[in-house]
Amino acid sequence: MTADIARRHTQQRQVVLEELRKLTSHPTAAELYEIVRRRLPNISLATVYRNLEFLTKMNVIQKLETSGSKARFDGDVSSHYHVRCTRCGRVDDIHGLPADLVGGEVSNFTSYEILGHRLEFVGICPECGRRQEEDDVTNVS
Amino acid sequence: MTADIARRHTQQRQVVLEELRKLTSHPTAAELYEIVRRRLPNISLATVYRNLEFLTKMNVIQKLETSGSKARFDGDVSSHYHVRCTRCGRVDDIHGLPADLVGGEVSNFTSYEILGHRLEFVGICPECGRRQEEDDVTNVS
DNA sequence: ATCTATGCAAAGCTTTTGCAATCGT
DNA sequence: ACGATTGCAAAAGCTTTGCATAGAT
């Protein structure tokens, strides 16, 4: 059932995929490039972009383009939602939440043929929340 | 309750707002620029961007940045969801759907402090759907 | 041998910014 | 008069693309 991952099985494509799968941080192309570079110092950013696009089309990874100016990538293609921190931009998975959170009643309110939806939560990550509290204490004057 | 729209009440800002409010098409900055240009031929794209940003901050309009590479703008700030056509990129409002479609149960599944969510539906707009059917007929060979 | 994939550099596209001039108050 | 706003052009930031070379099957 797994899509065949590559027409040409190159080291670059393999390493891009492996490193992405090691991460739960949903990196941008540039972030992943820096990581992959530790194993393949001569790889180019363009190759990372091309492989990320290719793997997305093959449905081996997924591209998260809900908001923000940079696309982020997720090595986990199972359907799940994400939270984005409004302070630091970090993106995390939300596990356990039903993937069909948004019902089919939508079709009654539009003339579009609904194929799906994109949902992303926004909030403050624990780290930024903690930093906030520290600042609050520090700023008492 | 309306935020005061402008510190300086310029013609450019006024026309940008008026033209945006006439549209239900959620134009991009460049699209709106072309429209505004019909009334103010010398306006610059930068001014359109600056005013869209300003009006967004004033909460007079809203910026839709759910997906796609270009931001789109909505002269209607009431909270409502949108559908995006995967074929032509067009974005329409969905009216009548409860704005709190996505429940608060989310907090049980993440350590983030949840502030809100971005939800956008994707599908095929009536026009593209019709075009599809025509093509299907045409392509019978 | 063939044809995809890569690296590099350049280009593309959307958005932002520096600056001097202009306009609103 | 003062300072926000404008127009222009340049810059910035992310992503894509052309092209010759290298590499996979």
Give residue-wise pLDDT tens across range B25-67.
Answer: 999 999 999 999 999 999 999 999 999 999 999 999 999 987 7
Q: Do A85 and B126 touch (CB under 8 A)?
A: no
**pLDDT over 50 (residue B2):** no
Taking CB atoms and an 8 Å cutoff, what residues of chain A touch B105?
97
B32 CB inside 7 Å of strand C: no
H-only helix segments in chain A: 11-22, 29-37, 45-57, 126-138
* Shortest CA distance from A115: residue in chain B: B123
CA end-to-end span of chain B, whole Å? 62
Question: Can you name the residues that pair with A92 across neighbouring β-strands?
Answer: A83
pLDDT tens digits for B3-18? 455 578 999 999 999 9
CA of B7 to C1' of D4 (A): 8
A8 CB inside 7 Å of strand C: yes
A99 touches chain B (CB under 8 A): no
**Token output for A75:** 């090595």
What is the pTM assigned to this prediction? 0.87
Q: How many CB atoms lie within 10 A of CB A56?
A: 16
Q: Closest to A113 (Cβ–Cβ): which among B112, B117, B123?
A: B123
Supply the pLDDT for residue A64.
93
CA distance readout (Å), B120 to A19, A124, B25, B117, B138: 30, 21, 15, 10, 33
Task: Read off the DSSP letter of residue B29.
Answer: H
Higher pLDDT, A139 or A70: A70
Task: Read off the DSSP letter of residue B12.
Answer: H
pLDDT tens digits for A62-119? 999 877 789 999 999 998 999 999 888 889 999 888 877 787 788 999 999 999 899 9
Residue A1: which pLDDT band, with cuts at 50, 70 and 90?
Answer: very low
Supply the pLDDT for residue B132.
74
Distance CA A69, CA A63 (A): 13
* Shortest CA distance from B114: residue in chain A: A123
**pLDDT over 90 (residue B99):** no
